[in-house]
Chains A and B, each alone.
Chain A
């Protein structure tokens, strides 16, 4: 088995609502990220996937706080690192790209300077000329055809796909150990998305960067991820190798999610969808959060959250149907 790079243990995140009450947005989740893999986190809005990675990056909003748990990364517990140490880690060992690259780029600073910024902060021994040379090289590697000219451009002069390439260059210039990609292709067209996905795959293979890939799209996950975690309402409900999960989903939520996607042979037939709606953090939760929407709810589902069951090697499900 590959070496574990990041270990999330019993992470529980609380959100302070406007009325002062506290709700659990992420409830006791544990998982590990293995060296060199692309791990997907899938779930719908409000399932806690973005909150989890924001906590990983130490970028939670003021109303979110860690109630319990650890995130072990090398010698550090990312939940408890000092701000000084955090500044050494972010952008250097851990970096992130977001859905909308335009909001992550400074509109007033030229691309070349922005992409080189992590190096200026973390590699003080490099001269400006050396940094510029490295930026130029990296921009070429992420598939930008005229890097010299792009370095002198401003973000608004670039297309969406180009901006996302620039973001990927910026996030990987310090050769981070983990690159977090939070819905990086959701705002892009399908053809541009295909380019960005193959670029991320190359970053993973050629630089050896481990990628934590957040998405709601199982098609995208299938194209890029080695393993996947399925999250629902703050809980991990299933995890395993991507092919196993997509071909043999065990949890009723995973099954429902797959059936919700219209495919070739479903034309003219009703989609079998999951009834009800995605719960918000304000809604009262059953012990198994999927119980209200699941077609197979039993007495026990409303009493305890199921234990972890290993169905096959590396395929884990949390559901009382397998008790």
Chain B
């Protein structure tokens, strides 16, 4: 993996995607106010690229993942491998995009064996004879670092890390172009999570696929991904190569996130000043206005995402007037 943006076609294109949640109360209890979750989000993921999406809870990162998977309605345009939701069947779509979620146990049917779970995508798409499917499952189990005999076991017999390996294997069965990994290692123990990170790196070398890696952990995202986008309150505030965003963060929110991560190796207590809330929120201002240490009157409207690259990289987008 290098840090440059791979050439060639884009596997995922997200163009001006917005999404709203409305209160579905009844009658007079109904609140007609819609709250906007995603605000005009655009990003592309290239072939064989690992793209990291970072933000805190409620920032809309999982909502974006779900929109890309076609699990929730949205406004705007999302294409995966040239296909658009609604234009092709869900079934056709699932050949190109698969997901790995945070809790592997809830992603598996407890009454079916691991083999049955992993075989299901092949059966749904009518790929191969039963014998070939069995063989494919066994080969995939070995790819994700499990013994082929696990095919006959049940989810409850596996540890958390082994279950996540199975979910990754199941997601790869149809050889999709894009994998959405939503907090895929957050529920695992530290020593097991690092094994899964290594697994992603190994399969990346062996196979061609792109990944949208959604996480709240900027360290992990930097470690694994080629490019990173940072989300705050439903919009992307910074996007660029992993190296640029992590080592040369420009948006005050990205800096805040980085300084808040407790580091086991440093004696530094983090930048306390950045953590303090500064001013009352203003309607229509930059989303980060009330917490930003640099905000001025100029920030009372929403800034555009603009290219601030200056170190020779192709793009480093930042949504801030200050720069």
List chain A positions with a Cβ less than 8 A from chain B.
44-45, 160, 189-191, 193-195, 197-198, 216-223, 243, 246, 256-264, 266-268, 270-271, 273-275, 277-278, 280
A192 to chain B, nearest CB (A): 8
Interface centre among A160, A218, A260 (most CB of B within 10 A): A260
Given contacts A219-B262, A222-B264, A277-B162, contact A267 B223 (CB under 8 A): yes
Which chain B residue lies CB-closest to A220? Answer: B262
Ordered by A's residue number, 27 sampled pairs between the chains whose C-beta atoms are within 8 Å are: A160-B57, A189-B57, A190-B257, A190-B262, A193-B262, A194-B270, A194-B275, A197-B262, A222-B266, A246-B264, A257-B190, A257-B191, A262-B220, A262-B222, A262-B224, A263-B219, A263-B265, A264-B247, A267-B243, A268-B1, A270-B198, A271-B198, A273-B191, A273-B195, A275-B195, A277-B162, A278-B191
B269 → A minimal CB distance (Å):
7
- The residue in chain A whose Cβ has the minimal distance to the Cβ of B262 is A219
Find chain B residues with CB under 8 A from A259 CB.
194
Contacts of A256 on B, CB cut-off 8 Å? Answer: 191
Given contacts A189-B216, A191-B56, A277-B161, contact A262 B191 (CB under 8 A): no
A189–B264 CB distance below 8 A: no
Among B192, B201, B246, B267, max chain A CB count under 10 A is at: B192
Q: Are A278 and B219 in contact (CB under 8 A)?
A: no
Binding site for A on B (CB under 8 A): 1, 56-57, 159-162, 189-195, 197-198, 201, 216, 219-220, 222-224, 242-243, 246-247, 256-257, 260-267, 269-270, 272, 275
Report whether A222 and B263 are in contact in the complex, using a CB–CB cutoff of 8 Å.
Answer: yes
Cβ-closest chain A residue relative to B267: A243
Closest Cβ of chain A to B249, distance in Å, is 13
A9 and B314 alpha carbons, distance in the complex (Å):
61
- Flag if B197 contacts A271 (CB, 8 Å): yes
In the bound complex, do residue B189 and residue A44 qualify as a contact, i.e. CB atoms below 8 Å apart?
A: yes
The residue of chain B having its C-beta at the shortest distance from the C-beta of A145 within the complex is B277
Q: How far is the CB of B196 from chain A (nearest CB, A)?
A: 9
Q: B190, B195, B243, B260: which contacts A190 (Cβ < 8 A)?
A: B260
CA distance A217 to B256 in the complex (A): 19
Nearest Cβ in chain A — how far from B105, in angstroms? 13
